[in-house]
Amino acid sequence: MVYVINSGGDSVEEKRGSVWKEVLLSFLASLPFFTHGLETTELSSASHSGHFITSQDAIPWNATAYILGAIVSAPVYCYVVDKHGRKVGIFVVNLLQGASCIPLFLDHDFATVICFHVVAGIYVGGLFTVVPIYVREISSLTTKGFSLSLMMVLTTAGYAMKLVISVEWMMYLLAAMVVVQFLSFLVLLESPSYLVMSGKMAEAKEIISQLKCLESRDPNVGKELESLKEESERAKSKGNLNVIGILRNPIYRDQTKIGFILNTTTMLCGSVVFLDRDKALFQLKMADPDKWLVLSCLCGGSLFAVMLIRILERKYLITLGYTMMVMSMGLLAVYTQMDLTVTSLRWLAVAALGVLVFGYGMVWAMPSVVMAEIFNFEIRATMVGIVFSYGQIVKLIHIHTYKYIEDYMGLYALFYIFTIVNMYGGVYALFAIPDLKNKTNKQIEKQMKRIPLLSFRNAPKV
């Protein structure tokens, strides 16, 4: 990418570098999301809390093991990547993801299934924390949104593979993907933000020049390095950067609150119902023998979000997704209401289910995208780990209480409740999330500053 600047008849070429290497490395680092999507064929609970395979037991032991593994492992991953580098975290994720494939080739007894879900939960705790952090830190302002959103389309593409290949071939593809991930790891570069945190300025400068495809003495490389140093010093100037010190800062506290609310609304949006395609279609008295509706709409929604994220602000994209979910879920609530039998236009209910899943496909990973962008890199790993674990705790409570609430209130009442939750999520995202597209961390923090309603000046001394 070359810009020509004309001034006083002279022409000066300023090389800003290329972004192809950033996007390529982001794609290679995000390949574990595709592998995770493939594994969801055997998981009883995916990261979005939908149930593609339901447990026969009244107590979802396998989903519980999976979520507990993610809750415990996420803060540990984030601590490790702050101490030893982002690449170390990605290597551990790849290693455990490969280990989680071993039980798939064994007899599926109770112990094997539980072991598989525990290992899968442990690597997922790093997958949805370490990888987004790494992708954000190697990406420029113009590519960070697209690169981060790759996790959405790769994961759902993995889900959709079950539509075109058999389970046996999917197992072989799963093993092949693990090998490809380890080979791809060899070409990954360390995050320049981590190197600045560690005080390795010379190495950070060299990595930036490789990412930008520029020479290390290029002035744009120096500007990027100075920007990272300034961001680091700005965070350190605000005091101790442990968890308590971070939460004492009003800007960081508000950013954390955004993460908590986004994760809460995503976990409680009703995906536990409408991603269970057999149950949802049974309630609508419809059938989907090829089982393509939910998976194809979920993948389509994620692809649509990837296409729009370079055009729309994150908050508008989230609000659009939630708006689609609110309208379609309200319609489904009417069709499933017990004392209101609707027999006409049954196709409309199935179309509403498709729109609902499509809208969910647009927003299910947006909390991870927003959290990776909104925090200063000095505190990014710490807070992303905490927010992710909080979301998994909400998910754990939800899957253990959902059945009792459904039996007590009925499915249609839950649809109305989920509609209210989604409505709140869309409105909150629209007014609370700052502009993130092409914004530096300093520009984001300026938007987070609180403006007092009343301000009093000191009275002049007499």
Q: What domains lie within the chain, and their CATH numbers?
A: 20-448 (1.20.1250.20)
* Residue whose C-alpha is closest to residue 188's, from 34, 398, 13, 32: 32
- The pLDDT-based confidence of 5 (bands split at 50, 70, 90) is very low
Q: Mean pLDDT score of the chain, rounded to an integer?
A: 84
Q: Where are the alpha helices (DSSP H) in 101-199?
A: 110-127, 130-138, 144-160, 167-185, 192-197
Least confidently predicted of 129-138, 158-167, 224-233, 340-349: 340-349
In this prediction, residue 453 carries a pLDDT of: 47
**Which two three-digit tokens encode residue 423?**
């409505």
Pinpoint the alpha helices (H) of 30-85: 31-39, 61-84
As a whole number of angstroms, the distance between CA 57 and CA 62 comes to 10
Buried b (16+ CB within 10 A) or exposed e, 384-419: bbbbbbbbbbbbbebbeebeeeeeeeebbbbbbbbb
How high is the pLDDT of residue 279? 59
Residues in Cβ contact with 140 at an 8 Å cutoff, skipping those fewer than 6 apart: 19, 22, 212
pLDDT value of residue 223: 92
DSSP letter at 210 equals H
Q: What pLDDT is recorded for position 7?
A: 37
For residue 411, give every residue at least 6 positions away whose Cβ sits within 8 Å of its Cβ, in sequence order, or none.
273, 283, 336
The whole-angstrom distance between residue 78's C-alpha and the CA centroid of its chain comes to: 15
If pLDDT is split at 50, 70 and 90, which confidence band does 288 have?
low
Which one has a higher pLDDT value, 36 or 6? 36
H helix intervals, 293-376? 293-308, 314-336, 346-363, 366-374
**Do 318 and 433 touch, CB atoms closer than 8 A?**
yes
Whether 153 shows a pLDDT value over 90: the answer reads yes
Q: Which two tokens stand for residue 280?
A: 């949802």
> What's the rounded Cα separation, in Å, for the pair 32 and 37?
9
Q: pLDDT band for position 334 (50/70/90)?
A: confident
List 10's β-bridge partners, or say none: 7
**Would the pLDDT of 255 be above 50?**
yes
SS (H, E, C) 222-268: HHHHHHHHHHHHHHHCCCCCCHHHHHHCHHHHHHHHHHHHHHHHHHC
What is the DSSP pairing of strand 2-7 with strand 10-15?
antiparallel
Nearest to 132 by CA among 48, 26, 210: 26
Length of the chain: 462
Ramachandran angles phi, psi of 242, nearest 5°: -80, 180
Share of the chain above pLDDT 70, in %: 84
Q: What is the mean pLDDT of residues 103-129?
A: 84
The answer, yes or no, to whether residue 125 has pLDDT greater than 70, is: yes
Residue 79 is which amino acid?
A: Y
Determine contact, residues 136/91, Cβ cutoff 8 Å.
no
Over 80: is that where the pLDDT of 238 sits? yes
Q: Which residue has the higher pLDDT, 59 or 182?
A: 182
Displacement of CA 111 from its chain's centroid (Å): 30
Please report which confidence band the pLDDT of residue 459 belongs to, taking 50, 70 and 90 as the band edges.
very low
Higher-pLDDT residue of 415, 192: 192
Three-state secondary structure readout of 375-416: CCHHHHHHHHHHHHHHHHHHHHHHHHHHHHHHHHHCHHHHHH
Tens-digit pLDDT profile for residues 53-112: 444 555 577 888 889 999 999 999 999 999 999 999 999 999 999 988 887 777 777 777
Mean pLDDT across the stretch 338-366?
78
Average pLDDT rounded to a whole number, residues 186-201: 93
CB-CB contact of 252 with 448 (8 Å): no
Structure confidence at residue 324 (pLDDT)? 95
What local confidence, expressed as pLDDT, does residue 407 receive?
Answer: 82
Is the pLDDT confidence value at 136 over 90?
yes
Per-residue CA distances from 147 to 216, 246, 297, 344 (Å): 24, 27, 22, 44
Of 417 and 402, the structure prediction assigns the larger pLDDT to 417
Element (H, E) at 220: helix 219-236
CA distance 152 to 158: 10
Look up the pTM and report it. Answer: 0.88
